[in-house]
């Protein structure tokens, strides 16, 4: 039995979890694996619904990915009417091009790929987004729903700095404990070759 | 019976132990430095550069196009182009690498450089006993150390080399035929030009003509 | 009820003191640079935290900096025992992302090399597991004797024994010759005999059974919830094999069985590998019988400078260790915007603590051995 199309899943989630808002994100590649963007406040409830839904039974969370979308600047050309001073000193109203820059704030994203081991179908892709990349990097952890996410959420925390609220044991996993930066972010600058000081037991 | 499983296992080891005296398949150890297995044709270790003929400088196939440098996953190739040019195997003038270094301490023997090279200039070597006592200088192979003759390639990868040689011979022949045709065409043109003297005279003055033209252009003032 | 899976049992010491032991990172039983922080009461494990990352090289970042082609040789180095299946997982994801087709012969050859990889991985794993249990040397040597023959075949096909770098999106790098296929046929005629021998060696051994049966039990519910995959999942009785579920490649054309365990203990996990080796031989026989002639590479595919349309794709295969997946996001340029590996070994370690609690420290070694980890993949 196959899963219904994403729009239908979205509708059922919104009916099943009051207040939840789900956005469908279409995927332009030939794979056509579309995803659902959840709002952080209801993510836990939605995840539980997906896991326990009698027809879907998405009991298997394969993959948790962190993705970094840095702040971008879009510039668009707009035509504005302006008084322009000509060389001889006369002023006239003219149409001129002006480049307007808008800053689009970036965010960090956690992507969850779900399958069902019981019904042998899949996949459903969930996305959670943080507010920004600096101080509001919290998303709810889904480890209480699927324990398979435990190490991968730790990895996303380690390499991207996404803080998963409600994770039972959120520590660095691949980098060492004293490490400061988040190496998988797009703007990460590796430190100049320095030899780490190793503390010798006295 | 307790212990049956243990006995069953011991029978197996005994079979292998005594079998190793009679069956080749059960005694597979190769006494390595003295005894060597032949390497299969496809076997690869590190890349080397090919040259035709006797002189590694004149015959080097590489034209310093730097495709391999860009595609090498760990970026362990370093190429600097030459300022001057030399003819390649079909007689076309090409630049050649003034510097071609491969850092084999970084190279991961992936063969991607070989795959992407459009000039059959780089191939994989089979030598694997390369340990040295100097991990910096001696593991950075320069053009001189990398250049090996085509005969060597024919020896280590006979099938592959035969295929490449055949293709290159064909290409060279085609190029030659083309060059001959071009030459013939040029000759024919020249002959045709010679056959019509009036035009020939005019064209004989052709070199001076632009100057005249310039003069006439300038003259109205 | 299922949320209770998170509450791990807590052992209170009855008497005596608690000792903290750091097993590894340099310890022969940890299969690489892997550490377990163990709290012991006497010999009983009360707490265990896996610590890894010693081999971390940020494989994902490296791949994001290179072209799509340049990532293939790096995938060889993930699970360095199974480079063929790693290649396959990655090229499958790229093929999904860019919508590429693979010629039929290439699909068959992929199955052949992947199943040979599975065979040698399982043989090696059993050798190591039995070595961890104290059967020092002998089973491992037998396994390596057989593995050697398979690696020789890989070398004559792809040029390298372990870092094969053989597959390409849209096909394979080189075609197999007729002689090569005959060599494989000759080899797989011998493999069932080897499996029999290997099985007779220790399967019924009373000491082994006493040590492994009932050790490190992984309940079915927990295995699913913790995303355990591969033979370890099936040892717990869950019928989930991606070759059967997704039918990637041409796996739908072969008839083979998926062995299932009942108890989810170390013994089941050991038997699971033996049984899968037998099934693998069956698949190989069918694939070698049916393999068609034809090209092995789609000539339309641009290997150099592939630029898939912006989008994303997740491709997964059943690697010998479990579900190996690659998640790629393309932004339309020549290198992946996001490249993510789903490492089966690392995720299977999630429940290591649950399996070890209450057991003796000597059992931790065999429980870890039955998980089948390769640190190149855990740490990436
Ligand atoms: S070896 Fe080949 S690809 Fe590399 S620079 Fe020379 S000609 Fe170009
Ligand atoms: S074999 Fe691979 S790593 Fe080595 S030089 Fe060639 S492309 Fe680079």
Given a cut of 70, is residue B184 above it in pLDDT? yes
Closest among C365, C357, C358 to C134, alpha carbons compared = C365
Number of domains in chain C: 2
Q: Within chain C, what is the greatest distance between any pair of CA atoms?
A: 72
What is the average pLDDT across B89-105? 81
B42: in domain: no
Structure tokens at C57: 């090289």
Distance B126 CA to ligand 2 centre (A): 14
> What digits encode the pLDDT tens for the residues B117-157?
888 888 888 888 888 887 777 888 888 888 888 888 888 88
B117: in domain: yes
C304/B116 CB distance under 8 A: yes
Residues across chain B:
221
Provide the CATH number for the domain around residue C274.
Answer: 1.10.645.10
* Residues C36 and C185 both lie in one domain: no
- B-chain residues near C130 (CB < 8 A): none
Domain that holds residue C19: 2-51
Among candidates A118, A125, A184 on the partner chain, residue whose Cβ is nearest the Cβ of C60: A184
Provide the CATH number for the domain around residue A153.
Answer: 3.30.460.80
Among candidates A30, A33, A147 on the partner chain, residue whose Cβ is nearest the Cβ of C98: A30
C-alpha torsion angle, residues C166, C172, C174, C178 (rounded to 10): 110
Given a cut of 50, is residue B11 above it in pLDDT? yes
- C-chain residues near A125 (CB < 8 A): 314
Beta bridge partners of A164: A139
Strands (E), chain B: 47-51, 77-87, 93-103, 122-124, 140-141, 147-149
* Residues C33 and C130 both lie in one domain: no
Ligand 1 atom index nearest CA of B64: 5
A189: in domain: no
Q: What percent of chain A has pLDDT over 70?
A: 93
* Residues C188 and C288 both lie in one domain: yes
B9/C303 CB distance under 8 A: no
Given a cut of 50, is residue B204 above it in pLDDT? no
Distance B77 CA to ligand 2 centre (A): 7
Q: What percent of chain A has pLDDT over 90?
A: 0
A93: in domain: no
Distance B79 CA to ligand 2 centre (A): 13
Cα dihedral sign, C237-C239-C243-C244: positive
> What digits encode the pLDDT tens for the residues B14-64?
888 888 888 877 787 888 888 888 888 888 888 888 888 777 777 788 888
Provide the CATH number for the domain around residue B131.
Answer: 3.30.70.3270
Number of domains in chain B: 1
CA pair distance C104, C116, nearest whole angstrom: 19
Closest among C351, C238, C218, C224 to A59, alpha carbons compared = C224
Write down the pLDDT at residue C88. Answer: 92
Instruction: Output the DSSP codes for B58-77.
Output: HHB------HHHHH-TT--E
B123: in domain: yes
Domain that holds residue B161: 47-170
Q: How confident is the model at residue B197 (pLDDT cuts 50, 70, 90)?
A: low
* Residues C194 and C317 both lie in one domain: yes
**Spans of chain C, pLDDT less than 70:** 1-16
> What digits encode the pLDDT tens for the residues A126-176?
888 888 888 888 888 888 888 888 888 888 888 888 888 888 888 888 888
| Minimal-distance CA residue to ligand 1 atom 3 | B117
CA pair distance B203, B185, nearest whole angstrom: 19
CA pair distance A186, C278, nearest whole angstrom: 46
Ligand 2 atom index nearest CA of B108: 3
Write down the pLDDT at residue C369. Answer: 86
On average, the pLDDT of chain C sits at 85
C203/B124 CB distance under 8 A: no
A151/C350 CB distance under 8 A: yes
* Residues C255 and C316 both lie in one domain: yes
CA pair distance A60, A53, nearest whole angstrom: 13
A185: in domain: no
* Model-wide pTM > 0.95: no
Write down the pLDDT at residue B209. Answer: 41
> What digits encode the pLDDT tens for the residues A19-53?
777 888 778 777 778 888 888 888 888 888 888 87
Number of domains in chain A: 1
B111: in domain: yes
* Residues C136 and C23 both lie in one domain: no
């Amino acid at each position: 039995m196959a899963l219904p199309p994403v729009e239908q899943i979205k509708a059922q989630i919104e009916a099943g979890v009051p207040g939840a808002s789900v956005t469908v994100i279409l995927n332009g590649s030939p794979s056509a694996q579309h995803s659902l963007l959840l709002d952080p406040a209801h993510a836990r409830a939605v995840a539980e619904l997906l896991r326990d839904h009698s027809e879907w039974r998405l009991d298997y969370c394969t993959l948790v990915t962190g993705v970094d979308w840095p702040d971008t600047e879009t510039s668009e050309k707009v035509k504005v009417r302006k008084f322009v001073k000509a060389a001889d000193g006369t002023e006239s109203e003219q149409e001129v091009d002006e480049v307007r820059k808008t800053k689009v704030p970036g965010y960090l994203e956690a992507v969850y790929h779900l399958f069902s081991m019981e019904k042998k179908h899949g996949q459903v892709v969930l996305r959670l987004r943080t507010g920004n990349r600096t101080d509001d990097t919290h998303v709810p952890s889904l480890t209480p729903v699927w324990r398979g996410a435990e190490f991968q959420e730790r990895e996303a925390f380690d390499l991207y700095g996404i803080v998963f609220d409600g994770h039972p044991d959120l520590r660095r996993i691949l980098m060492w404990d004293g490490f400061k930066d988040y190496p998988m972010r797009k703007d990460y600058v590796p430190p100049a070759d320095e030899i780490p000081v190793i503390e010798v037991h006295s | 019976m307790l212990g049956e499983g243990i006995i069953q296992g011991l029978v197996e080891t005994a079979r292998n132990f005594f079998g190793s005296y009679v069956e080749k398949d059960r005694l597979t150890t190769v006494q390595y430095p003295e005894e060597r297995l032949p390497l299969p044709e496809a076997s690869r270790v590190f890349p080397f550069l090919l040259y035709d003929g006797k002189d590694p400088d004149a015959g080097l196939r590489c034209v310093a196009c730097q495709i391999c440098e860009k595609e090498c996953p760990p970026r362990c190739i370093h190429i600097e182009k030459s300022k001057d040019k030399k003819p390649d195997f079909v007689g076309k003038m090409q630049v050649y690498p003034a510097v071609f270094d491969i850092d084999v301490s970084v190279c991961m023997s992936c063969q991607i450089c070989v795959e992407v090279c459009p000039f059959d200039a780089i191939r994989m070597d089979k030598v694997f006993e390369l340990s040295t006592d100097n991990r910096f200088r001696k593991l950075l192979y320069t053009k001189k150390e990398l250049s090996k003759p085509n005969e060597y390639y024919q020896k280590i990868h006979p099938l592959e080399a035969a295929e490449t040689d055949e293709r290159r011979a064909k290409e060279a022949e085609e190029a030659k035929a083309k060059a001959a045709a071009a030459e013939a065409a040029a000759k024919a043109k020249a002959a045709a030009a010679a056959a019509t003297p009036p035009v020939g005279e005019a064209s004989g003055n052709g070199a001076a003509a632009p100057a005249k033209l310039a003069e006439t252009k300038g003259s109205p003032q | 009820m299922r949320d209770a899976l998170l509450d791990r049992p807590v052992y209170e010491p009855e008497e005596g003191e608690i000792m903290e032991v750091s097993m590894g990172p340099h310890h022969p039983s940890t299969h690489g640079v892997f550490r377990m922080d163990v709290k012991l009461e006497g010999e009983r494990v009360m707490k265990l935290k896996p610590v890894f990352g010693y081999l971390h090289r940020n494989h994902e970042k490296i791949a994001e900096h290179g072209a799509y082609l340049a990532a293939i040789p790096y995938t060889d180095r993930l699970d360095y025992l199974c480079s063929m299946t790693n290649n396959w997982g990655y090229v499958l994801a790229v093929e999904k992302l860019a919508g590429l087709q693979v010629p039929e012969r290439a699909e068959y050859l992929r199955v052949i090399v992947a199943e040979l990889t599975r065979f040698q991985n399982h043989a090696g794993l059993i050798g190591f597991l039995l070595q961890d249990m104290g059967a020092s040397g002998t089973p491992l040597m037998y396994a390596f004797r057989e593995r050697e023959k398979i690696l020789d075949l890989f070398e004559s096909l792809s040029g390298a024994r372990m870092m094969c770098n053989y597959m390409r999106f849209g096909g394979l790098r080189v075609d197999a010759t007729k002689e090569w296929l005959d060599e494989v046929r000759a080899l797989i005629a011998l493999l069932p005999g080897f499996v029999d021998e290997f099985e007779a060696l220790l399967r019924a051994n009373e000491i082994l059974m006493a040590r492994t049966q009932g050790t490190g039990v992984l309940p079915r519910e927990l295995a699913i919830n913790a995303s355990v995959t591969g033979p370890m999942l099936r040892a717990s009785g869950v019928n989930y094999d991606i070759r059967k579920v997704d039918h990637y490649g041409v796996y739908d054309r072969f008839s083979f069985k998926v062995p299932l365990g009942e108890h989810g203990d170390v013994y089941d996990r050991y038997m699971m590998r033996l049984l899968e080796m037998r099934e693998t031989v069956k698949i190989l026989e069918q694939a070698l019988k049916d393999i068609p002639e034809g090209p092995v590479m789609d000539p339309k595919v641009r290997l150099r400078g592939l630029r898939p349309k912006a989008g994303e794709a997740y491709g997964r295969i059943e690697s010998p260790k479990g579900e190996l997946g690659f998640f790629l996001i393309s932004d339309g340029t020549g290198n992946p915007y996001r490249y993510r590996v789903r490492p089966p070994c690392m995720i299977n370690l999630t429940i290591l603590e649950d399996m070890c609690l209450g057991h003796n420290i000597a059992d931790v070694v065999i429980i870890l051995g039955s998980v089948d980890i390769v640190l190149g993949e855990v740490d990436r």
